[in-house]
Amino acid sequence: MTNIILCGGSGTRLWPISRALMPKQFIKLFDNKSLFQLTVERNQSECSNFLIVSNAEQYFLASDQMGDLDIDKEHQDSKFLLEPVGRNTAPAIALACFALDKEEIVLVTPSDHLIKDEVAYDKVISRAVKLAKEDNLVTFGIKPEFPETGFGYIEADGESVKAFKEKPDEQTAKEYLEAGNYYWNSGMFAFKAGIFLEELEKYSPEIYNTSKHAYINANNEDMIRVLHKDMANIPEDSIDYAVMEKSDKVKVVSSQIGWSDLGSFDALSEEYEKDENGNTIDSNLIAMNSKENFVYTSNRMVTLADVDDLIVVDTPDALLVSKKGSSQKIKDIVQELKGRESELHHIHLTAHRPWGTYTILEESEHYKIKRIVVKPSKRLSLQKHYHRSEHWIIVSGTALVTVGAKETLVKANESTYIPMGEIHRLENPGKIDVVLIEAQVGDYLGEDDIVRLQDDFKRV
C-alpha cells in the first residue's frame, strides 16, 4: 500500500505561527516534531511506500524533515510529486494515482492532522484496506463529539454513505449530533488507484483528461515535476465534489482514533498541557489571576493579569490576541494583510531554502541585515542583483565565494563584497554549516531582485 501524503494548504487559521512558506504541517508543535513528521512515522508501519504531493517551496521542507526522522531504508527513497500551482485535492490525487499501478491500494492522508490513538488507527486502516480490495472508495468518518460547524459531515447507514453534507450552521450540527449516524469528514481515503481513476473519468472527465495529460508531460526523472501550463489547465475541485459525492462505490469506516485537524487555535489549545487554572504550561508565561488562556510564545516572556479565555500567540514579527471561540476569524486577518500587501502572511523572519535558512535581523528602507546558514555540500544559485550590493561576513565555517570570474575561500572572521550587478555565488564545501552575516544596501531590497543564472534546485 502507498501512502499519498497531501502537503498543500497554508494553514491560515493558525497565523501567525503558520505562513504560506512555513505552513502548519511543517511547524514542530509536538515534542519537536511536525504534523508532517508524525504522519510519516504513523504510516510507515501501514504502507510500503510514500508518494508526497507538494509544491516546489514545500518540497525542501518535506525532504529535510523526512531526513531528520529515524525511518527504515525502504521508506527513505520515497517519491515526490511537485505541483507548480494548487488545483485542490481531486487533481492532486489523480496525478499521484497515474504514477501507480492501477491495482495498488492507496491511503490518502493530509499532512496536517493529529491522530493520538494509533492502536485504533491500525484497526480502521485494516478495515478500510479490506473494503478497498473489494473495489470500494473508502472514506474515514470521525464520530462527532460536539456540534462542530467548521467540518463537512457524512450521513451514513452502517458502512454505506447516504450523503455528504456541507459545513452546517450550529442548529443543524446539533441535529446531526443527536441523530447519531453522522460523521465528521476527515479528508482521509483508501482505494485502488485504478478504481479512483475510473470513477474520476466517469464523473469528472475534464479533470481526468487534463490530469492524465499533465502527468504524461511531466518531468519524471528524480521526482515528478508537473509543468505549470499543464497544471493550470486542470479544473480546480475537491475529491468530494469531483468523485465521492457522485460515486455509488463509496463506503465509510467509523474512526474513533483521537483525531483533530488542528484547524484553529481553539483546537490546538486542547492538545497542550495546562496548569491548575487552565492556562498553557510554558516557562515563558506568568499568569496572575488569569485562567483558561492559551499562550504560544517562541522565546519572549508573556505576562497576563486579570484576563480569562484568551488566545495569545507571540512570534518575532507578529502578535495575535483573540478571544477563545473567535480564532476562526483569523483567516479574515490574513486577507486584510494580503490587502495591505504585507509579507507577514507569507513568510517568517526566518525563511527556509533548499540550501539552508536566512533570518532577517534588521531592516530599513535602504538596508537589510540577515543571518544566513548554508548546509554542508550546498550552494546558493549563481545570481546577480540590479538594485543592491552585499557585504558577507563569515561567522563560522569556510565558504567558497565566487565574485565575477574569481573564486576565493573565505574563513571565519573574514569578509567579501559583492558590487551591485556583479555575478556571484556562495558554496559550502565543508562538513559543518557555514554561518554568515549579510548586509544589503540599495534602493530596493525585495527577494524578487534575484536574477538566477544557474541553480542546483531548478528555481527560476
Q: What is the pLDDT of residue 77?
A: 64
Host H or E run for residue 121? helix 118-133
Domains of the chain: 2-260 (3.90.550.10), 265-329 (no CATH), 350-454 (2.60.120.10)
Of 92, 94, 5, residue with least CA distance to 44: 5
Buried residues in 422-457 as b, exposed as e (16+ CB within 10 A): eebbbbbeeeebbbbebbbebeebeeebeeeeebee
Helical spans, DSSP H, in 19-55: 35-43
Q: What is the pLDDT of residue 240?
A: 94
pLDDT in tens, 210-226: 999 999 999 988 899 99
Joined together, the cell numbers standing for residue 44 give: 510507515
> Average pLDDT for consecutive 10-residue bins of the chain (460 residues)?
90 90 92 94 93 88 87 71 94 97 97 95 97 98 90 94 92 93 95 98 98 96 92 96 96 96 92 96 96 93 97 95 90 93 89 92 92 96 96 96 96 95 96 96 92 87
Joined together, the cell numbers standing for residue 178 give: 443527536
Ramachandran region, residue 431 (left: φ > 0; alpha: ψ -120 to 50; beta: rest): alpha
Joined together, the cell numbers standing for residue 197 give: 481513476
- Rounded-to-integer distance, Cα 366 and Cα 38, Å: 42
CA distances from 148 to 152, 158, 182, 322, 328 (A): 9, 22, 12, 20, 12
CA atoms within 13 A on the CB side of 251: 20
Q: What is the pLDDT of residue 72?
A: 66
Radius of gyration over every alpha carbon of the chain, rounded to an integer in angstroms: 24
- Rounded-to-integer distance, Cα 82 and Cα 352, Å: 17
- Rounded-to-integer distance, Cα 296 and Cα 36, Å: 20
Of 44, 45, 26, residue with least CA distance to 35: 26
Using the structure block, give the residue that is written with the C-alpha cell 481553539: 266
- Residue 177, classed as helix, strand or coil, is helix
Of 460, 394, 385, residue with least CA distance to 423: 385
Cβ–Cβ under 8 Å, residues 143 and 187: no
Amino acid identity at 50: F
Please state the pTM of the whole predicted model: 0.88
- Rounded-to-integer distance, Cα 280 and Cα 274, Å: 5
Strand blocks (E) in 129-258: 137-142, 153-157, 160-165, 182-192, 219-220, 224-225, 250-254
Handedness of CA 235, 240, 246, 248 (dihedral sign): positive
DSSP conformational letter for 375? -
